[in-house]
Each structure stands twice: as C-alpha cells, then as structure tokens.
Amino acid sequence: MGSGKRSLITTTMALACACACACAILAAAPGVAYASPAPAPTPTPSSAPTSDPDLTLPPGATPPSVSNEELEAVRTKLDALYHSAAVATDAYNAAEEQTQQQSAEIVGLAREIVKGQQKLDDLRDLAGAAAREQYRSGGLPPEARLWLSEDPQEFLDGAGRVRQGEHATEGLLAELTRTQQDLEQYAKDASTQWTKLESNRKAKAEAKKKVEQQISAAKKLESQLEKDEKERLAKLEEEAAYQAQTAWLNSGLVPQSDGTASEHGKKAVAYATAQTGKPYEWGAEGPKSYDCSGLTSQAWASAGDAIPRTSQEQWKQLTHVDVQDMRPGDLIIYFADASHVAMYIGDGAMVHAPRPGRTVTVAGAGSMPILGVVRPDA
C-alpha cells in the first residue's frame, strides 16, 4: 500500500475512544485515515491467582485477585458466549422476519377466499336463474315445439337465443368450477402458510431462549469480577482488537484507496455513524437501540434500499465484492458463520453494534475475522 496511506493508517488511536472518533469522522472532511489503535499496556500479573477459571464463588465471598492468564481465559469464554448469542440472535431475527411475511400472506389469502366465496355465491345465483329459465321453457324437444309454434320464424329466433343462453350457461358453469378450484387452492395455501408460521414461531421462541441464556451466562461471568479486574479485562479486549487490526493492516488486503461511495452509500454511512453511542440490544432495529444487522439494514433502508434483516441473509443475497475494492457503505461480514456485520466507513474503519453491554461504535475494520464484503447497491 502507498506510504501516504500507510502513514495515515498507522497513526495511533485507541479502540476505547471509538465513540469519540465517530464524532470526529462525521465532522472531518472525507479522506481522514482510521489508524490502528495503540496497544494497551500489559497489566502486571497478579501474585495471587485463583484456582477457578470460571470464577465461581460461594455466596457473599470476596473474589481473590485474578491473573492475566485467567482474565484471558475469561475473555475467550465471553467471546464464545457472545458469539453464540449473536448466532441465536440471527436465527431469532430470521424467524421473526419469516413470521411477519407468512402472517401477511395468510391475511392476503384470507381476503382472496372472502372475495372468491362472494364470487361463487353470485355465480350460483346466476346458474340457478338459468336453470329456472330452462325449466319454464318446457321439456319438449325442439322439433315438437316447432310444429306447435304458431309462428315458425319466431320459434327459430327464440331457438337462437336459447342456444346463446346455453353457451352462456356453459361458460357460467365453467367459471363457477374454476372459482371453486381457486377457493380450494387458497385454503390449501393458507393451511400450508399457517403450518410454517407455527413452525417459525417455535423456532423464534427457541432462539430467544438461547440468546437470553448465553447473555445471562456472560453477564454472570462478568459480574464476578472486581472493578479493577473488569478494567484489566477491557484492556485485554482492546489489545486483542489492536493486534487483529494491525495484522489486517499488514496483510496486504486493505484497500489501497477507498472507492467513491455511491449517493445511497453516503446516506447509509451518515445514518449509521449518527447512531454511535446508542446501546446494543439483540433483535432491535432502532431508533433507540440496535443489534448488528438491525443497524446495517436500517441504515440502508434510510438510504432507500431494502436489504435482508440478518447478517447471514445479507451475506447470501447481496453482491459480493473483493475486500480490497470495498468502499464506504459496503457491509463487512465477520466470522465463518456470518454471525456479525458492520458498515465500512472508509480509511480502514467500520461502524457497528458490537454486543450486549456495548454501544454502537467505530472500530478498526480488521479487528475481527473478516469473512467477506457485500455491496447493497451494486
């Protein structure tokens, strides 16, 4: 990458100041580089490590000091718990989106059934009237009616009208049959959609339970740490993010120069960065709180582009672009299971809703394992 670009990117900036940087990015002119954050100083290991890596203590007991190695084990476990919660959140969001679609389809089918039933009733009335008219004309064969008619020409004219009436009746009966078949199909479709709806409701409930379990376990683990241990844990998280960002910047996969954002991309970036400081909440789509894909989907919706609700569907359905070709507004998909998404805002930075207990923030685009990049308005 160019020396000018590299000198800008490697300027020191701590990830802990990400929210402040978001405001700076909004206020600054385009082209300001997002640098790798400065590494946090390594805390001095404790002289009295605990023997329990999960920090499970008796009620009322004061936890002993925790070593850096044990805090790193806690950080790893927290990452695993929050990652599992993110996967379950994506499953919940997908089930929620599907239940909404299926509910709308069932409502539409119900309306078609009501309209079809009314049409069927009207056709039956017409068919009954035609049958009564035929009955009134008598059951004699046409030859007999011709001989008995006082005016043969009048009979022939009437016979023509009868034939027309018979054709009309045949068409009426055919339409009645088609309407009946349509009603039966609508009923079958509604039943199928209802079965799917119930299935997705169960999937949503199961996903919700798993999300809450994982987040509860993570919070319990964090609650067992003392204030200074939480501060040291935060520094370990910053250092891990710094090391990942530095490795990415040195990988050669960083864009040599940011592509020009589209007009819709600029609007999406403006929306997403304006949400910095708002809390993460799983399943949330704003305006007060967001989860990761809630933020990106709403940002692009504000720009006039509807995109899938979940990070996994965003990865599946949107156009893939090379990481080196990404431009502001593109979405960066993280982890092998596409369980996290952020929006690239340029100069090696992204904005995202990280996880429970965190707020929407700006961070290094390479601070987590990148699966790929997608472009909503390709």
Question: Edge to edge, what strands does the sheet with 340-346 contain?
Answer: 319-321, 370-375, 331-334, 340-346, 349-352, 361-364
Q: What is the dihedral of CA 86, 92, 95, 100, to 10 degrees?
A: -120
Q: Give the integer Cα–Cα distance in Å for 220 and 63.
A: 14
Provide the 8-state DSSP code for 1: -
167 among known catalytic residues: no
- Is residue 278 within 8 A of residue 290, CB to CB? The reply is yes
Concatenate the DSSP letters of all residues of 163-176 into one string.
Answer: HHHHHHHHHHHHHH
Q: Quick one: tokens of 143?
A: 């030859």
Count CB neighbours of 369 within 10 A: 11
Q: Give the integer Cα–Cα distance in Å for 124 and 199.
A: 38
Q: Quick one: tokens of 120?
A: 């069927």
Give ∠ CA 202-203-206 in degrees, rounded to 5: 85
360, 361, 288, 372: which is closest to 323 by C-alpha?
A: 372
Helices (H), the chain: 3-9, 18-27, 68-136, 142-148, 152-223, 227-249, 263-274, 292-302, 311-317
Concatenate the DSSP letters of all residues of 55-107 into one string.
Answer: ----TTPPPPP--HHHHHHHHHHHHHHHHHHHHHHHHHHHHHHHHHHHHHHHH
83 among known catalytic residues: no
Provide the 8-state DSSP code for 221: H
292 among known catalytic residues: yes
Q: Who contacts 366 (Cβ-Cβ below 8 Å, separation ≥6)? A: 244, 245, 247, 248, 249, 251, 254, 348
Instruction: List active site positions.
Output: 292, 340, 352
